[in-house]
Every structure is written in structure tokens, then in C-alpha cells.
């Protein structure tokens, strides 16, 4: 059933706040339920042989949210990193974090580094958490590295530049899934998803199931990817 599995899938996990509001619950309850949903999706991605699954968990713009919401998101993240990573490790799943990670609390940074080290060389899927992440910011940080390395204009091409992005070593994004009905990228993987297929669904992230994830993959498999060329 699953020929032509995308090598890299990005997910904009949106709609936690609205899920909670619809039930008269505080937004943080939506984030909790949302965090619980990721496990199923990660397992499904691993089972069908996806190489990289990048989950947009916290954007640079999300720093503007009320302090208590940011605090509870960081708290959830710490719990997630402590309890879930161990399980993922046992299943052979790897972990990486991308984004402007220096802005995160010091204890979160330590946990992220530990999780990356513990799972380095895992044979299965790599889960990439985009945290304090913005696509424009990632590109600017890469340009800064170009300057720091003293590279000359003729040294720069797409192959050298991709190695300066946070996603170095990962294939380009084949498919971006966004839940909650919004149809925008919100600064997610701007470079990497340049030729990605886009899949939008009205389902709110806490309601997003493994079945719908597999449906999105099948939808992707029916797309004709031309990359600007003409099909023979």
C-alpha cells in the first residue's frame, strides 16, 4: 500500500487552543492533549518508513504569547523530553531539535542536547522538534555562519548553504501537513519546503489521528510532482 513514502514530512500541529476553548477548558489543556497525540503519529511515521518527521511545536512568534502559556508549554516540553524520549529510544527512533534554541530555558536546552546524544545513531525515524523556530531566523543564522567562516561568494551554492541550516543532513521536505483549517506556513521550514506538497485539514491537532495521518500520506502519493519540468 505504501509505495513512494515521503522521506521528510513536516507537521504544523495547530488548533490546541481552539480545541480547549470549544470545551470550555483552559488553553493549556489543549496543549496537553496535543502533546499526547504526537506519540501515535510518530509511531505511524516510523512504521511506514518515513525518514524524518519535523514537528512544529513552538515558533519564534509564539514567544509573544502570555507568559503563563509560554511557561506551561516549556513545562510540558520538559515532561515530554523526560518521559517520552526514553520510549522512543527503545523503539529505535532518533531525536533532533531545530530552532533558535539558545532562547529556550537552560534546563530545556540541556534536556534537548541529552536527548539528541542518547538517540544519535538510532536506526529508525528521526523526530525533529522545531522549537523557538522561525524559517527566516534560521536562514539569517546560516548567513551569519557564512560570514563567520569567511566564505567567498564563489564558495556559496545551494549544497554548501543547506549544510549551514539547522536541518543539515536531512532531505528536503516532501509533505507539509497543517491542522486546524489555517492555510499558511507561519514561518515553518521556508527553505526546506520550497517544493513540498501541502496538505491542509480542518481537524484540530488534539483530534488528529493515525488514520488521518495515513490518509494525508495517501493523498501525497496521488500528487504529480513536476518540479517545474514537463512530464514525459
Question: How would you write the chain as a 3-class SS string?
Answer: CCCCCCCEEEEECCCHHHHHHHCCCCHHHHHHHHHHHHHHHHHHHHHHCCCEEEEEEEEHHHHHCCHHHHHHHHHHHHHHHHHHHHHHHHCCCEEEEECCHHHCCHHHHHHHHHHHHHHCCCCCCEEEEEEEECHHHHHHHHHHHHHHCCCCHHHCCHHHHHCCCCCCCCCCCCEEEECCCCCCCCCCCCCCCCCCEEEECCCCHHHCCHHHHHHHHHHHHCCCCCCCCCCC
Among 8, 9, 10, 14, which residue sits at the site for ligand IPE (rule: CB under 6 A)? 14
Residue 138 as a binder of ligand IPE (CB under 6 A): the answer is no
Measured at CB, which residue is nearest to ligand IPE?
17
Q: How far is the CB of 205 from Mg ion (least distance, A)?
A: 9
Residue 12 as a binder of ligand IPE (CB under 6 A): the answer is yes
Catalytic residue status for 62: yes
Q: Which stretch binds ligand IPE (CB under 6 A): 11-19, 46-54, 83-91, 107-115?
A: 11-19
Catalytic residue status for 46: no
Residue 197 and residue 175: Cα distance in Å, rounded? Answer: 5
Binding-residue pattern over the window 59 to 88 for ligand IPE, x denoting contact by CB under 6 A: x-xx----------x---------------
Contacts of residues 221-229 at CB distance under 8 Å and 24 or more positions apart, as own/partner, are 221/2, 221/3, 221/4, 223/197, 225/195, 225/197, 227/195
Residue 18 as a binder of ligand IPE (CB under 6 A): the answer is yes
Q: How far is the CB of 205 from ligand IPE (least distance, A)?
A: 6
CB–CB of 179/10 below 8 Å?
no
Residue 203 as a binder of ligand IPE (CB under 6 A): the answer is no
Q: Which residues bind Mg ion (CB under 5 A)?
A: 14
Q: How far is the CB of 10 from ligand IPE (least distance, A)?
A: 11
Q: Is the Cβ of residue 58 or residue 213 nearer to ligand IPE in the bound state?
A: 58
Among 58, 80, 95, 208, which residue sits at the site for ligand IPE (rule: CB under 6 A)? 58
Q: Is the Cβ of residue 128 or residue 164 nearer to ligand IPE in the bound state?
A: 128
Among 8, 9, 16, 127, which residue sits at the site for ligand IPE (rule: CB under 6 A)? 16
Instruction: Show which residues are catalytic.
Output: 14, 62
Q: Which residues bind ligand IPE (CB under 6 A)?
A: 12-18, 56-59, 61-62, 73, 180, 182, 184, 186
Amino acid at each position: 500500500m505504501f509505495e513512494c513514502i515521503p522521506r521528510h514530512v513536516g507537521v504544523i500541529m495547530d488548533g490546541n487552543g481552539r480545541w480547549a476553548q470549544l470545551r470550555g477548558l483552559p488553553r493549556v489543556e489543549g496543549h496537553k492533549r496535543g502533546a499526547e497525540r504526537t506519540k501515535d503519529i510518530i509511531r505511524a511515521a516510523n512504521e511506514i518508513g518515513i525518514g524524518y518527521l519535523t514537528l512544529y511545536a513552538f515558533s519564534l512568534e509564539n514567544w509573544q504569547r502570555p507568559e503563563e502559556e509560554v511557561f506551561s508549554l516549556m513545562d510540558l516540553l520538559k515532561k515530554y523530553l523526560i518521559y517520552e524520549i526514553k520510549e522512543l529510544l527503545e523503539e529505535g527512533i532518533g531525536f533532533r531539535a531545530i530552532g533558535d534554541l539558545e532562547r529556550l530555558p537552560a534546563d530545556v536546552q540541556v534536556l534537548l542536547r541529552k536527548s539528541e546524544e542518547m538517540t544519535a545513531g538510532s536506526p529508525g525515524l528521526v523526530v525533529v522538534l522545531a522549537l523557538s523556530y522561525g524559517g527566516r531566523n534560521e536562514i539569517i543564522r546560516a548567513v551569519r555562519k557564512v560570514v563567520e567562516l569567511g566564505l567567498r561568494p564563489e564558495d556559496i551554492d545551494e549544497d554548501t548553504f543547506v549544510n549551514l541550516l539547522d536541518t543539515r543532513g536531512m532531505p528536503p521536505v516532501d509533505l507539509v501537513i497543517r491542522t486546524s483549517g489555517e492555510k499558511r506556513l507561519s514561518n515553518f521550514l521556508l527553505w526546506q519546503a520550497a517544493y513540498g506538497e501541502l496538505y491542509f485539514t480542518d481537524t484540530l491537532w488534539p483530534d488528529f489521528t493515525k488514520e488521518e495521518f495515513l490518509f494525508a500520506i495517501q493523498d501525497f502519493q496521488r500528487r504529480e510532482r513536476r518540479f517545474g519540468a514537463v512530464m514525459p
